[in-house]
Structure formats: C-alpha cells, structure tokens
C-alpha cells in the first residue's frame, strides 16, 4: 500500500541553522532515502522551495484566481514529501519516524487514495 509522508517544519527554524547544520540535515535526508530505497519502501520524494515561492490557484465559477504564497498561514510549512510503500499504517509510521526533519517539526502520514479507472 502507498503512503505519503508530508514533511512540515517552521522555515524560521531552518533559516536559523548554520550552513553546516543545514548541509548535515540534507545529507541525513539523502541517507534516509538510500535506506528506504534499499528496503524497497521509497517510491518518490522531493524537497520543496520555501513558501515565499508558492503561488496558490483557485477556480471559482470558471474564474482562475491566483495569490502569492501558501493557501493558509500555519506555524509549520510543507517542506517536502516521501512517497512510501508499506504493508500497513504501522509500518508506514515506523518508516516515517526515521525521516530526519521529524526532529524539527512533524511528519503527516496519509494513505494514498487510488482513483477508479477512467470510464470508457
């Protein structure tokens, strides 16, 4: 079963890190991906640019509306994701517990919902 592990932390926390600490955290993340890949649990993942680079899009009554920044102000910002393969939620949570930024913020683990096949 597929699970997405959404990585959240306060951008101010990483902005306050030294360049070396930030480098070390990124190296830990790469090591985590390597271990997950070796165990056939890592399907995909990506880090995201800071929320200041985000654009939010909405469509209402056929009209496209754009705004700069994230959809909502929150204490923690979405920083990236890991798409995992796991037997069940318990295994997905155990795998996600090794994602290094969990020490800085939180990891939201959610099952992936498969869409039905397209009607012919």
Q: What is the pLDDT along the chain (120 residues), one digit of tens a residue?
A: 999 999 999 999 999 999 999 999 999 999 999 999 999 999 999 999 998 888 888 999 999 999 887 666 678 899 999 999 999 999 999 999 999 999 999 999 999 999 999 998
| Cα gap 8→104, rounded to integer Å | 8
| Cα gap 93→95, rounded to integer Å | 5
**Assessment of whether the complete model's pTM goes beyond 0.85:** yes
Could you give the C-alpha distances from 34 to 14, 30, 73, in angstroms and in order? 23, 6, 33
């Amino acid at each position: 079963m597929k699970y997405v592990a959404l990585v959240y932390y306060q951008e101010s926390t990483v902005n306050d890190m030294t360049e070396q600490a930030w480098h070390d955290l990124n190296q830990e993340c790469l090591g985590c991906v390597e271990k997950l890949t070796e165990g056939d649990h890592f399907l995909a993942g990506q880090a995201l640019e800071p929320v200041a680079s985000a654009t939010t899009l909405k469509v209402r009554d056929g009209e496209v509306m754009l705004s700069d920044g994230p959809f909502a102000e929150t204490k923690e910002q979405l920083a990236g994701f890991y798409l995992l393969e796991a037997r069940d939620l318990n295994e997905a949570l155990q795998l996600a517990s090794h994602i290094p930024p969990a020490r800085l913020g939180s990891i939201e683990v959610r099952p992936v919902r498969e869409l039905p096949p397209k009607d012919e």
